[in-house]
Chains A and B, each alone.
Chain A
Amino acid sequence: MKKGYSIALAILLVLAIALPTFANGQGEQKTAGKKQLTFLFMPGVADPFYTTMEKGIQAKGKELGVNIVVAEYPKAWGPEDQVPILQAAIQKGGIDGLLIAPTSVDALKAPLKAIYDKGIEIITVDTFLGDGDYSKAGTDYGFPLAYIGSDNELGGKQMAEHIAKLVGEKGKVFCEATNPDASSVAARVSGFKAGVAEFPNMKLAGVEWCMDVQQTAMQQTLAALQKDKDIVGIFGTNVYSAQGANQAVVNAGLAGAVKIASWDATTTNIDNLKKGTVDLVLAQKPAEMGSLAVDWLYKYLTKKVQVPKKVIPGFEFFTKDNVNDANMQQYIYQ
């Protein structure tokens, strides 16, 4: 029996050594023959934000003649879901550039560095490594070409300004956030606080964290409305917190009296806006992020153009007045 195993193992080893040599040879011939670039897109999680980003990437890739490979969308947010998929996709070979939304500022450093060391250029989209500043010297995360994503702090601030406009620049507002550990969400909240502070007649009644659970968001908002009966506006930092906040407002019989703002122009949020359960929606520009990322990576690889370390597309705001405008439709995440 031992002998059988030994023979089989020997065959495995021979195969493992012989076949890659053969396969590598093929791969080199292919790249030498034709010079079409191939970019890999590694999304953060399966959601409309990244599918919209993919559309921007595909469109730009088509325009520039870049072959776009899209990795499997991870089913949950986190390195343990993303990294295995990433490494398997890289393992297939033939990738010249990587566009990735890292799901952890720390855990992705080592795997991405290994990919970078293979000679693959990297741009992080939407999220970043470390603190997102790749121009700083002496860090262990300065290797990506660029970060292309939203300035969440600025978005939070603009959100406060738009809510102020809706409520006549006076009264209490409340923030229903998701997860204090997500750098993007924390920045939205701190930007929102700073924005509210600019209006002398406005006050922040509080910030709660619902951890992406709509039920929790509803309970927390109900409690806040009990405590401060004069709340006039609520900022939900994503779909779930906004929907939970809205349920609470409806249950408390305050529909219409309390304005609700939500982050991300998902079709759910836009439908809610049309129905009147949400009054303000901030749209990031995922398609533009994707498109810019492909563009810069292409320019860098073909013309050695210097890439800015940080590229920040702006925001758009949906209200019920402009939600049906033709030129706004492009900002809805499809």
Chain B
Amino acid sequence: MNTRVSNNNGSLLASIGRRWVLGFIIIEIVFFSVAARGFMSIDTVQLILFYGTEVFLLGTGELFVIISGGGGIDLSVGFVMGFATVVSAKLMVLFATMGASPLGSVLLGCAATLLIGLIPGLVNGWLVANLRVPPFIATFSMLGITHGISELLLQGSPAKNLPNLAGEIGNGYFAYLTPSGSLSFFSRPEVARGQHVWAIIPNIVVLAFIFIAIFAFVLHRTKFGRHVYAIGGNRDAAIRSGIDVRKSLLKVYVISSLFATIAGLSYTLKYITGKADAGSGMLLDGIAAVVIGGASMSGGSGTVWRSLLGALVIAILETGLRILGLQTFTTYIVVGVILIMAVIIDQLFPNFNR
């Protein structure tokens, strides 16, 4: 709708509106620091990132779809994520029983899942781009299909007996710093018990942000990225200017599916299990991250950076409320309210969010 409208930097209102998400994050941090003992610490920052990983990932994938416009939305991400947890867990167990080393099983399991995880996206994209099925219906159907397949694969009980290494990777940190100043990577150094070791950035957060950085580059710096904005901004104009809309749309849904799959892998490595409904509550978070980040649901606007901020709003909220000791249900309510706020701001000041 409103593609590339130049920002009107002048008015105060505009500048507040543009930064409200950042302002909200600061309010969250100040609030929880005062209200929740133990919130203000490096460890909390790590917890926020650790538990926010899936939201960061799903938000980035969903962003591509939402920018592409035409009612673009991917409702299947939560259950594609669950599907990925099931497939990866089953594959890791399979490779391990076939005699692969723990590292081999985990890596092969993840790699194969990344490939299989593209299939829901290919189908979604094909339905939307070639058959003109409304994205809502196409991806909603895929939600059911992936859910069903996952349950069939599991036969009632969560996947189990994964190699221990999976959990060590999923719960490990990129680097550790001992009080004596020695730095070690990937494995926690042996120190006297009770001595504080600074753990720096969970492994899965590092992995997630590598993927996010790559696709931020794709969206903001490549021709394909510009095409996605153009298609979302004005599809007819995009077609007239010779953009292959079908191919771009297909790619957009595959990217969304890819991120849902990565989110699933992150879950598998954290909890060393696979569950069909692992991401069932994540759809709201993924879409909310994008909308809070200021992307318009009608397409053509939004950035990865802003979606990450949107996801951060949710991640801080979840961890903060937990440390505060409030029931986790509270998060759903607050996220819902912020979501409505975001949309209202988008309506009132349509020109901010690009």
Chain A residues within CB distance 8 Å of chain B: 1, 4-5, 8, 11-12, 15-17, 19-20, 23-24, 71-72, 75, 78-80, 83-85, 87-89, 91-93, 104, 106-107, 109-111, 114, 116-119, 140, 179-181, 209, 211
CA distance A179 to B197 in the complex (A): 40
Q: Check B272–A92 contact: CB distance below 8 A.
A: no
Which B residues are in CB contact (< 8 Å) with A83?
Answer: 270-271
Subset of 5 A-B contacts with CB under 8 Å: A20-B42, A72-B328, A91-B38, A104-B272, A116-B193
Which A residues are in CB contact (< 8 Å) with B7?
Answer: 1
Q: Check B40–A19 contact: CB distance below 8 A.
A: yes
Encode B320-331 as 1/0 by CB contact (under 8 A) with A. 001101111100
Q: Which residues in chain B, 25-66, are within 8 Å of chain A measured between CB atoms? A: 25-26, 29, 33, 36-45, 47, 51
Interface segment among B72-80, B103-111, B118-126, B157-165: the answer is: B157-165
B188 interface residue, CB < 8 Å from A?
yes
Given contacts A72-B325, A80-B267, A88-B323, 9 further A-B contacts (CB under 8 A): A19-B40, A23-B41, A72-B322, A75-B329, A89-B322, A92-B38, A93-B37, A116-B193, A118-B196
* Residue in chain A with minimal CB distance to B40: A19
Chain B residues within CB distance 8 Å of chain A: 7, 9, 15, 18-19, 22, 25-26, 29, 33, 36-45, 47, 51, 156-158, 160-162, 164, 167-168, 170-172, 188, 193-194, 196-197, 267, 270-273, 275, 278, 318-319, 322-323, 325-329
**Cβ-defined partner of B171 (8 Å) among A71, A111, A209:** A111
Q: How far is the CB of A22 from chain B (nearest CB, A)?
A: 8
Which B residues are in CB contact (< 8 Å) with A107?
Answer: 167, 270-273
Q: How far is the CB of A121 from chain B (nearest CB, A)?
A: 10
CA distance A314 to B41 in the complex (A): 44
Q: Check A88–B322 contact: CB distance below 8 A.
A: yes
Q: Check A117–B193 contact: CB distance below 8 A.
A: yes
Q: 3 tightest A-B contacts by CB?
A: A119-B194, A88-B322, A110-B171
**Cβ-defined partner of A92 (8 Å) among B37, B160, B278:** B37
Q: How far is the CB of A265 from chain B (nearest CB, A)?
A: 26
Q: Check B19–A4 contact: CB distance below 8 A.
A: yes
**Cβ-defined partner of A5 (8 Å) among B22, B37, B188, B273:** B22
Q: Check B167–A16 contact: CB distance below 8 A.
A: no
Q: Check A20–B40 contact: CB distance below 8 A.
A: yes
CA distance A92 to B37 in the complex (A): 5
Q: How far is the CB of B285 from chain A (nearest CB, A)?
A: 14
CA distance A181 to B194 in the complex (A): 35
Which A residues are in CB contact (< 8 Å) with B322?
Answer: 72, 84-85, 88-89
Q: How far is the CB of A13 from chain B (nearest CB, A)?
A: 10
Q: Check A181–B167 contact: CB distance below 8 A.
A: no
**Cβ-defined partner of B40 (8 Å) among A5, A16, A85, A119:** A16
CA distance A319 to B86 in the complex (A): 43
Q: How far is the CB of B9 from chain A (nearest CB, A)?
A: 8
Which A residues are in CB contact (< 8 Å) with B158?
Answer: 78, 181
Q: Check B45–A106 contact: CB distance below 8 A.
A: no
* Residue in chain B with minimal CB distance to A110: B171
Which A residues are in CB contact (< 8 Å) with B171?
Answer: 110-111, 114
* Residue in chain A with minimal CB distance to B192: A119
Q: Check B29–A15 contact: CB distance below 8 A.
A: yes
Q: How far is the CB of B34 from chain A (nearest CB, A)?
A: 10
Q: Which interface residue of A24, A116, A117 has the most chain B CB atoms within 10 A?
A: A117
Q: Check B272–A106 contact: CB distance below 8 A.
A: yes
Q: A114-B171, A211-B156 are in contact. Are A16 and B43 (CB under 8 A)?
A: no
* Residue in chain A with minimal CB distance to B267: A80
Q: Check A8–B22 contact: CB distance below 8 A.
A: yes
